[in-house]
Structures are given as C-alpha cells and as structure tokens.
Amino acid sequence: MTFENENPFALRSTLEYEMPDFNRINDESYLPAFYAGCEAQLGEVHEIIKQDEVTFENTIVKMELSGQILMRMMMVFYNKSSSDTSDALDAIEEEIAPKLAAHMDEIRLNQKLWGRIKYLYDNRESLNLNTEDAWLLERYYRDFTHAGAHLTDEQRESLKVLNEELSKLETQFGKNLLNDTNDLAVVVDDVAELDGLTENEIAACAAAAKDRGLEGKWLVGMVNFTGNPLLSRLTHRGLRERVMKNSLLKGGRDNENDNRQVLLKMVKLRAQRAELFGVKTHAEYVLQDRNAQNPANVHNMMKQIAPAAVRNARAEGAELQKAIDAEYEQKAIDLVNSIFKDSDASALLANLNMVTNNDGSTKSLEEIAEEHGVSAEKVAEIRSKAPSSSSTPAGFEPFRLESWDWDLYTEKVRMAKYNLDTAAMKPYFELERVLFDGVFFAATKLFGLTFKERKDIKTYHPEARAFEVFNEDGSKLALFIGDFYTRDSKRGGAWMNNLVDQNFLLGQLPVVCNNLNIPKPPAGQPTLLTYDEITTLFHEFGHALHGMLSDVKYPRFSGTSVERDFVEFPSQVNEMWLSWPEVMDNYAVHYETGEKLPQEWIANLKAASTFNEGHSTTAYMAAAILDLAWHSVTSDQEITNVEEFEAKAIADYGLDYAPVPTRYRSTYFSHIYAGGYSAGYYGYIWSEVLDADTVEWFKENGGLTRANGDHFRNTLLSRGGSLNSMQMFRNFRGRDATIEPLLKRRGLI
C-alpha cells in the first residue's frame, strides 16, 4: 500500500469538520507522516522558488498552502503528547523535535525564498493588496527576519545548530518535569491526615493511589504550579508542609529528572542566538516582535504593580498571622481550662499570650509555669494533651506563617471577614451544570451560539468529549473538544489546542480542544469544582471562543495566532461571565437539592473580590520577573547556581516574601522552557490591562447582550491575527487601554 492509502495524515480527513480519524491514528502513524510531510513541504517550496515571476499569489499564498501533511500530523501529535503521553510518544517527540527545528530553518533561511518575500515587501505599495493580504505579507517578512533569513551565511549556519540544540533541550525539560511531577506525589498512609477534605476528595486520593498500585493508601498529586488546591482545606500541618515542599522541588533534585543544567544550557544558547541578531539578550530578541516592543516597556508596567502587590501581600500575611495566634492561644486556653478547675491556673492563663509572641523573646510554657507556681506535673499533663497534628504543632510552641499555611488560613480569615466558605460552595458548582448552564449559556447569550454533544464522534481519549457548535442561524461553526480530568499521562495546567484551524483558503471550520486538570471523582460521584477551577474553565473556553469565532482567509491568522502578549486577553475577558449575575444564577445550583447559591454568599463573593490579591499578584509577578531575569542574561555571564539566581532576581524587585513563593520556580517553569512563553510570561498581566479595560466597557454598555457580543466578535475575536493586535483593541474600545481598571480590580489602589 502507498503512503496515501495507509497513513491517516496523508490526505485531508473526510469526517465531519475534517476531524482527524482517531479510529485509524496510532503511534505508528506519526513518524511516517512527519518525514513525508517535511519532504512534501520542501518540494512545495522548491516549486515556489522555480517560478520566474514573483507575485503575492505564487509566493505568499502558495506558502500558506504548503505543508498540509506536516501540519495535520503536528496538530494531532502535540495535542496527544501533552494530554495523553506515553513512552512511545516521548520517544517520537525526542526524535522529531530537532528535525522539525532543522526543517523550519531550511525553509525560513532559504535565501531564494527570502529574496522573493523581500522583493514583495519592498514593493508592497505597488501591489494593491487588501488589508488582510498586506498584513500577511508583513507577517511573513517579520517571520523570516526574526528567523534569521537576513543573516550572513556563517551566522545562519550557527543559528541552525543553536535551534536544533534548543529544540532537544525544550523536549528534555518537559519530559523531566512530567516524570518528576509524578514521582513527587505525596503518599499518605493514614486517612486521618486528610482531615478537612470532603469524602469525594478523599475518595479521589484513594483512587489515584490505587491507579499506581498503592491499594489502601492515598495520593496527593502534584500540580504544575507552586502549591496545591488541597492546601486550603488540609488541617494536618505536617502534610501541608510535605505537599508544599514537594511542589517546590519539581525538576530541581539531584536525579535523572534534574532540569537545572538543562535550563542553564538553554539560557546560554538563547543568549548566543540573540547576539546573532545584533542584540544582547533573548528578551530583547523576543520582544521586538511583540506589542511590548522591548524589556524596558515591560518593566515600566511591572514597576507600577510590584510594590503595591507585595505591600498588600505582607498586610495579608500579618492578618493571617493574627488568625494563627488567636487560634493557637484559644486552643491553649481551652486545654488549660479543661485541666485546671481552681484558681492556680489564672496566672498561667493570663500569660499564655507570651508564648505566642513572634519577636524571638518568648518564654517556654515551663518557664511561665515556674514563675506562677504551677507544678511540673500539671505542665506535663498539659503537654501530653496538647494537639499534635491539626492546625497547632506539638505542645505549645508558637509557629510563624509559612507558605503551606497560607491557603488554609486565608480560607479561615475569608470566612471570618466575609462569611465566605469557598469549600461549602463546591456542591453548587457541579461540572456538567457549570459547563452547560454557565460556560455554554454565557456564549449563547453573548454570541448566539448553541451546543450539542456528539457522543458518536471519536476523540483522542475516552474522556475527551465532542460538542458541535452552531451559529444563531443554525449554521455550523465549529467542533469543541472538552478534556477536563487530570491523569498521569497529561501534563499539568490547562490549555487550548486546535486540531483544525479555521480558514477560507482551504475551506476549513475549526476543531478546538480545551484541556484541564480537574481531579476525577470515583465512579458515580459528581465532579464538584472549586471556584478556581470554574475560573480556569471559563478562561480556557475564552481561548476556545477565539479559535471557534475565527473568520479569516489564511491559516496563518486563525484564532489565537496573535502576538504572545495579546493571546491571553480574550480568555481573561471570558472570566468575567462566571460571576455575572444572570450566568451565576443559572449554573450555581446545589447538585442534590436544586437550591441556588444563596444571594448572601454571592454578595460576599463580590465583597471579597480583592481579598488575597496581594498574594496572587506577588506570586505571579515573581514568576514574570524570573522569566525576564533569565532571559536578560548575556552569553558571557556564568551562572552556576539556579537557586541563588532565582532568589536574587526576586529580591532585586522587592518581591521576596517567604510565605508567598513564586508561582513557578525555574525548574518547573514549563511556560518559558518548554511552552513558547520565553521572555513572555509578563503577557498575562499585559493582557489583563486590556481585559480589565474591556470589562469596564461591557459594564458601561449593558453587559451580557447580543449587541455587545457582536461588537466584540466583529471587531476583535473573529479577526484572529489578521490585523495588528493593538489596532484591533482600538477598533473595539475606541481608544488605547489604561492601567487604572486593572489596579482597581486587584485592589492595588
């Protein structure tokens, strides 16, 4: 049989929406398609440069049409390898990563092809191109210059070597991180240590342990960021500490998964590559093709936020410490009262607060007892009865707030200040209800979209569900794939991928995937979400909408194919609808009783909207600064200690506050070392400036209405990358964004 007959990537799929044929795709499908796809695209490029005449149609449009086999294979492979990897897929990725880098270099460093593109660009005023065509030519010119097509022969050869080595290291970083993340899951032998978790959460921990052959135990898995959602409910301080410390170790241990040397090599190679382009650092090289333009502009924005963020975080920490002290003292007093029935305890009780001081001058319980005539026997009795495994440590030794205490005591203070127990809300946030009556409902109200689950469509994994999406007039819009649950074979975090890009050139409708990492409950039990998980669900669906509402001619511009520091903007805007009254009233319903989330709780949620923002902003900012610091390193700088570099970078920005560690340490910062965000993690808050200003526009113009949805869709979402991103924002908003709405939202002014 020929390749065309036997390989599922050889020809365009004949299934609905050109959905990849997962009945035929297997591990053996990828490599033949990769090599055949590379060969075919190089042949297509050769046909382009053979043409004597140089036109937009026979050069730029033909480039858009090239590489279809390779693109079909890559979109499926990289979605599969991130959501459901295996040893076989890891081996394939290791093989193709450097070869793909070399293939792209062979195209973008081809001097004859570059000559044609440059000729068209230099004569663009005489070509009479429409707006989208002109921007496509602009982007190809930028792509090729950013890739190094304009460099000397010697420089281009050096660049090829650097790109190939970097691609290998990026793959190695991701593989190491996934392995170490799985290895660092915390095994719990005694279910009592899981005090504070719900029955479903405990059952999920038991199921996770069973999946690894640990029958009769419980497993707390690691997540991609620092910490763990369960820390907000675990009362066992020792277990909280183990979970937090393990989360901070990912990829940073002396073992086969150690990412420290990997990232140090990447930093040096990226700096060397930047020098080939005439700049000193990778950050300068990357940002010249982003909205921010240069590192100085990013720092100017960040410095407006960082001081207020850490100031708020420290104030929040002081409040949490007061709650710890008060809880500790009350437990101590209650215990002493239970032991003493006469007046000889009064002096001791009056001075117990001395034990909880945090100025280093505290006295021990024995010293205070001796001063007030309390017998050693009584002190021993108190010691023996003191709690040792809940929220207080053994005996009555005071404890300072640590990072593993933050989430638990945040919930306690939130409850005390706002009468808001986020754990008690989970029964009102059942996945199916949130998805259909929240996420989909908001999209219907705003854009007129409707959704129909298609259980007959086979996806890449049994847990990945397909939904057909229709416009208001009933016409087909897209296919949406939702893959919501965590598994050992899925990388951490949440993301959006495309399996098919919308474009008119090939007449294709989009197939869009959302991947999340929600813990899967035991069979038959409902999936109850945290508020953060709902936020992630709405956020990722914002990316999906950007892909599904795309209405462009060229694949190069489809959906989220925008500047990296703009791509998070539409997804962040979509988060606003999760708390919009009409939407929340529709989905926040108790899964057993049908009772709606009490209005008092909703009011309390709103009142607490800036609560703990100091912590979240500081943790994010520290990671963003860490990214910029690593990518501001020059090639002649010798860095040998990753931990010391991290600490200094964060301290130099005034963000060093131990109870609030960076959201990502370098060794598990896959965004910047394996995910395309190098020197770009700032983009989340850069985009949030636009997002916050956009939310103000929606509020000023009536909120969740079809008219507003149409305006947002027509001026921005549907345009993909077919226009300069900031111009699209101006077309939508009528002006440039201002930072004040963001500062107000985060409680920083």
- Neighbouring residues of 398: CB distance < 8 A, sequence distance ≥ 6: 325, 328, 355, 356, 357, 358, 362
Q: What is the 3-state secondary structure (H, E, C) of 216-257?
A: CCEEECCCCCCCCHHHHCCCCHHHHHHHHHHHHHCCCCCCCC
Q: Contact, 628 vs 669, CB < 8 A?
A: no
483 inside domain: yes
Residue 556 shares a structural domain with residue 437: yes
- The CATH code of the domain that includes 20 is 1.10.1370.40
Within this chain, do residues 465 and 600 fall inside the same structural domain, yes or no?
yes
Domain membership flag for residue 159:
no
pLDDT tens, position by position, 37-77: 999 999 999 999 999 999 999 999 999 999 999 999 999 99
Q: Are 282 and 678 in contact (CB under 8 A)?
A: yes
Domain assignment of residue 298, yes or no = no
Q: What is the pLDDT of residue 392?
A: 39
Active-site entry in 193, 329, 540, 568: 540
Long-range contacts of residues 190-194, Cβ cutoff 8 Å, at least 24 apart: 191/218, 192/236, 192/389, 193/234, 193/236, 193/238, 193/239, 193/389, 194/218, 194/234, 194/236, 194/239
Q: Assess whether 433 and 317 both reside in one domain.
A: no
Domain count for the chain: 5
Residue 594 and residue 503 share a domain: yes
**Contact assessment for residue 593 and residue 632, using Cβ atoms and an 8 Å cutoff:** no
- Residue 133 located in a structural domain: yes
Low pLDDT (below 50) residues in the chain = 343, 346, 350, 352-361, 387-395
- Tokens representing residue 733 in the block: 């908003």
Say if residue 588 is in the same domain as residue 665: no
User: Are 363 and 480 part of one and the same domain?
Assistant: no
In the numeric block, the tokens 């929600």 are attached to 518
φ/ψ of 162, rounded to 5, equals: -65, -45
For residues 96 and 17, membership in a common domain is answered with yes
- Please report, to the nearest 10 degrees, the dihedral formed by the alpha carbons of residues 27, 32, 37, 42 taken in order: 150
> Is 481 found in the same domain as 403?
no
Q: What do you get for the CA distance between the two ends of the chain, in Å?
A: 68
pLDDT tens digit sequence for 131-179: 999 999 999 999 999 999 999 999 999 999 999 999 999 999 999 999 9
Q: At what angle do helices 306-339 and 613-630 cross, to 10 degrees?
A: 130
Select from 200, 220, 249 the last residue of a domain: 249
Q: Which structure tokens are listed for 395?
A: 């005996």
Do residues 687 and 588 both lie within one domain? no
Yes or no: say if 339 and 382 are a contact pair by the CB < 8 Å rule.
yes
- CATH code for the domain in which residue 681 is found: 1.10.1370.10
Question: Which residues, listed in sequence order, are joined to residue 217 by a DSSP beta bridge?
Answer: none
Q: Is residue 553 part of a domain?
A: yes
Domain range for 109: 3-150
Angle, helices 683-700 vs 295-302, to 10°: value is 60
Is 255 within the bounds of a domain? no
Query: How far apart are alpha carbons 193 and 235 in whole angstroms?
Result: 8
Q: Based on the domain organization, do 226 and 367 belong to the same domain?
A: no
Reported as type and span, the H/E element at residue 742 is helix 740-745
Query: Do 143 and 267 have their domain in common?
Result: no
Residue 176 falls inside a structural domain: no
Identify the pLDDT of residue 358.
44
**Cβ-based burial of 123 (10 A; exposed 0-12, middle 13-18, buried ≥19):** exposed
Q: What pLDDT does 389 receive?
A: 38
Residue 166 is assigned to a structural domain of this protein: no
494: phi then psi, degrees, rounded to nearest 5: -145, 145
Residue 503 and residue 507: Cα distance in Å, rounded? 6
- The reply to whether 25 and 117 lie within a common domain is yes
Query: Is 53 among the catalytic positions?
Result: no
